[in-house]
Amino acid sequence: MQRIAIDMDEVIADFIPKHLHVFNRDYNENLTVNDLTGTRLRELRPQFLREINAYVDDPLFFRDLAVMQDSQEVMQQLSERFEIFITTAAMEVPASFTAKYEWLKEHFPFLDEMNFVFCGDKSIIHADYLIDDHARHFERFKGKGILFTAPHNLNETGYVRVNNWLDVRDYFLR
Amino acid sequence: MQRIAIDMDEVIADFIPKHLHVFNRDYNENLTVNDLTGTRLRELRPQFLREINAYVDDPLFFRDLAVMQDSQEVMQQLSERFEIFITTAAMEVPASFTAKYEWLKEHFPFLDEMNFVFCGDKSIIHADYLIDDHARHFERFKGKGILFTAPHNLNETGYVRVNNWLDVRDYFLR
């Protein structure tokens, strides 16, 4: 059975709307996802770099992220034909461990927690496919990288791209 | 550069003495490591299975484990010639995430936390070697399994065995 490794933030967990929401609230701004095309919040507002990064150090930040549209249904279908692992660079945000674990158990109860991986350098992942929004994780990955579209990676070329979970379904199950 | 994945409990973190200490204290016993030869505490005292397992659900249980003798010095030497990843089945004990992370940062400060992996099923690990006290992790691992001696695995055959960290040094650096 082939194995698909799947990232969390901006792939199954909708990170950006919450990050923008707390930033807009605290700094009286009205930034939208469109403002992040080809960039990131910390690049758009470098004067608030420290504050922007600090949001994710809140142990609860990741606990109530929205689930990416169609990800639950499609992953349920994928899990009947593929071995599914969740592979998230949680070591970049150690405060997030518990929230990420609980979030996965809540929203993807059909997955086995023995298939959750909290790592940093994803070259350690042994899988046939890796669905991720960060192309840098594909550089030393031995399987096939599949780029999940996010505002910051719109200018990235050279990888199979999926724009949403219906694209993921079509790629693996058509 | 070849990559070595290294387990935590009973390989670099001395799990058993603390587990025995709290059990002996609470149940007025005097069990020693020798009593665990070829077995485990939960098999030796099945009537206390729930209590024995509950100790590790304390978020601080793993925070003050002793470091296995010679592991720091040898791993420091190994890290000059090999890529080192720490791969622990932390998903079996979700309460341990933070303690394990802090313990690693305290006792192995020369390791990059991007090389820490909290997982469950270690077949996800892509490495040339895996040093572990549980032979079951070698079954689907694609690299070479190296069994680190622990009381519970003394009867295990069929794998390269190292009895301590000086053996690890001799195996990789002689």
Over residues B48-77, the pLDDT tens digits come to 999 999 999 999 999 999 999 999 999 999
The rounded distance, in Å, linking the Cα atoms of A117 and A124 is 10
Select from B1, B83, B117, B137 the residue whose CB has the most chain A CBs within 10 Å, as the one to mutate to test that interface. Answer: B117
- At A174, is the pLDDT very low, low, confident or very high (cuts 50, 70, 90)? confident
- At A80, is the pLDDT very low, low, confident or very high (cuts 50, 70, 90)? very high
**Domain B3-14+64-173 class?**
alpha beta
Find the mean pLDDT for residues A96-123: 98
The strands making up B160-162's β-sheet, listed across from edge to edge, are A160-162, A144-148, A129-132, A3-6, A83-88, A116-118, B116-118, B83-88, B3-6, B129-132, B144-148, B160-162
Find the mean pLDDT for residues B153-165: 96
- Binary contact (B126, A121; C-beta < 8 A): no
Q: How big is the A-B interface in CB pairs under 8 Å?
A: 85
Tokens of B11: 């390989």
Find the mean pLDDT for residues A34-38: 93
Give the residue from B126, B99, B124 showing the smallest Cα distance to B13: B99
CATH number 3.40.50.1000 is the correct assignment for the domain at A3-14+63-173:
yes
Confidence at residue A46, expressed as pLDDT on a 0 to 100 scale? 96
Share of chain A above pLDDT 90, in %: 99
Confidence at residue A108, expressed as pLDDT on a 0 to 100 scale? 98
**Crossing angle between the packed helical segments B71-78 and B165-173, to the nearest 10 degrees:** 20
> What secondary structure letter does DSSP report for A164?
S
Nearest Cβ partner of A121 from B91, B114, B120?
Answer: B114
Give the residue from A78, A123, A93 showing the smallest Cα distance to A8: A93
Cβ contacts (< 8 Å) between B97 and chain A: which residues? 97-98, 101, 118
With beta carbons less than 8 A apart as the criterion, state whether B129 and B146 touch. Answer: yes
Confidence at residue B123, expressed as pLDDT on a 0 to 100 scale? 97
ipTM at complex level: 0.96
The rounded distance, in Å, linking the Cα atoms of A101 and B91 is 9
Find the mean pLDDT for residues A12-25: 97
Distance from CA of B19 to the nearest CA of A (A): 23
- Binary contact (B91, A114; C-beta < 8 A): yes
The rounded distance, in Å, linking the Cα atoms of B41 and B133 is 16
Find the mean pLDDT for residues A101-127: 98
Cβ contacts (< 8 Å) between A121 and chain B: which residues? 85, 112, 114-115
Residue A26's identity, in one-letter code, is D
Confidence at residue B33, expressed as pLDDT on a 0 to 100 scale? 94
Confidence at residue B164, expressed as pLDDT on a 0 to 100 scale? 98
The rounded distance, in Å, linking the Cα atoms of A91 and B123 is 20
Find the mean pLDDT for residues B4-17: 97
- Binary contact (A91, B116; C-beta < 8 A): yes
How far, in Å, are A117, A162, B42 from residue A31 at the CA level? 32, 25, 55
Tokens of A72: 């639950």
Find the mean pLDDT for residues B96-103: 97
Find the mean pLDDT for residues A2-30: 97
- Binary contact (A114, B121; C-beta < 8 A): yes
Tokens of B23: 């059990």
- At B174, is the pLDDT very low, low, confident or very high (cuts 50, 70, 90)? confident
With beta carbons less than 8 A apart as the criterion, state whether A126 and A142 touch. Answer: yes
Which of B7, B14, B128, B133 is flagged as catalytic? B7
- Tell me: pLDDT of B146 over 90: yes
Residue A80, classified by CB atoms within 10 Å of its CB into exposed (0-12), middle (13-18) or buried (19+), is: exposed
- Tell me: pLDDT of B168 over 90: yes
- At A137, is the pLDDT very low, low, confident or very high (cuts 50, 70, 90)? very high
Confidence at residue B87, expressed as pLDDT on a 0 to 100 scale? 98
Average pLDDT, whole number, for chain B? Answer: 97
Domain ranges of chain B: 3-14+64-173, 15-62
Active site residue B26: no
